[in-house]
A and B are shown apart, each in its own frame.
Chain A
Amino acid sequence: MRTTEGSRPAEASAEFVTFFEEVEPRLRLALVARFGEQDGREATLDALAYAWEHWDRLKSTDNPAGYLYRAAARAGSRSRRSRARTAMLPPAASSGLRDQGDFEPRLPEALASLSANQRTAVVLVHGWHYSLTEAAATLGMSLSTLRTHLGRGLSRLRDYLEVPDDQAD
């Protein structure tokens, strides 16, 4: 049965708020890494709205955050298919840190050239320092799959930026 905002019991609402506070940051970071700043935030909003509407079903799943991420990734890929396929990551110039040598100026375009799964895995693990377990749970994938995406993503980044092998380790 479909629940509505007005008819949802108070305890369920409190439960959802707890879930929301816990999940929103990592869901947003993951979806921003996948789709870029604007689309990623919109996808997060849509996913959490979906979570509210289907909370009764969602809370009984093993990994609600992972489920939400996968659903948002699928929906986002469908709805954004007509737009540019690469994520609209902010350019290095917008950070104001380029001159300090914190990262290679071509890094944003290198990240954008990765597959969505590779990019998300790399950003979550190396950008936000998620543990492999946390990242795998957020993305709703197994540890071994995450490791594969991570390894391939880093390898492609090195190739793209032409990083010498001696700096790979």
Chain B
Amino acid sequence: MTKLIEDQVGAYATACLGSVPAVTLDEVMATVGQTRRISTRRRRSRLALVGALACSIVLVVIAVGLAGRSSIGGNSSHPAVSSVPSTTLAISRFGVVCGYEFFVGGPPAVDRAPPAAAARKCPLTTSTSQTEESTIVLTGNGKRYLAHFDSQRLWTAKLPAGVYLAVGWGCYPPGEGFVLKAGETLTDVRVSTGCGVP
């Protein structure tokens, strides 16, 4: 090997790289047309993509809005129950007819069996928690509902139509309850804060 690197690069370029065919004007013009077609296609597909994205966002917003309306509040103390409209969405969408028991009066009798009717209609886990005075949260099937209790011992809850509401956990005769009709708002569930007289 006696050649300088520079000379070797020259020999290599001549032997190997010089064989690349020249670009012709016709090829350039063909590429111009092709590029335009590709650009148009890209613009269209981008437009379609943006449109689909916008539609998805709108649908998600609508779904979230409707889902928000289907449950009564998300906070155990706010907002007021009466401000949330009732809806049938949760029921019609998931086909669930489920019981949400009122657990009222002292600690929930968790060691007792649930009412037979409620147990039959709602195999899902339901539970409630009780705040000090005015509000209880009914949870079940991933939803939360508020029921308001006032000084007159009047519980007011606005629940989705079709929800089975059982009252009398342990203290009341099993199976006593209500099934809300479509659009109906249950506003007069009278229960006791203790076992015994409603």
Give A contacts to B, CB under 8 Å. 5, 17, 20, 24-25, 28-29, 32-33, 37, 40-41, 44-46, 48-49, 52-53, 89-90, 92, 94-97, 101-104, 107-108, 111, 122-123, 126-129, 154, 157-158, 161, 163, 167-168
Contacts and interface: CB of A to CB of B under 8 A. Distances in A.
A101 B28 contact: no
A33 to B, nearest CB: 7
Given A5-B32, A52-B32, A127-B13, A24 B5 contact: no
Given A101-B1, A104-B1, A161-B5, A45 B12 contact: no
A45 B11 contact: no
A111 B9 CA distance: 9
Q: Say what secondary structure dominates the interface of chain B.
A: helix
B110 interface: no
Interface of B: 1-17, 20-23, 25, 27-29, 31-33, 35
Contacts of A102: 3, 8, 11-12, 15
Contacts of A126: 5-7, 9-10, 13
Contact of B5 (A40, A90, A94, A163): A163
A111 B15 CA distance: 15
A95 B15 CA distance: 5
Contact of A24 (B3, B4, B23): B23
21 contacts: A5-B32, A5-B33, A24-B22, A33-B17, A48-B23, A48-B31, A89-B17, A97-B11, A97-B15, A102-B8, A102-B11, A102-B15, A103-B12, A104-B8, A107-B12, A111-B12, A123-B13, A123-B17, A127-B9, A127-B17, A157-B9
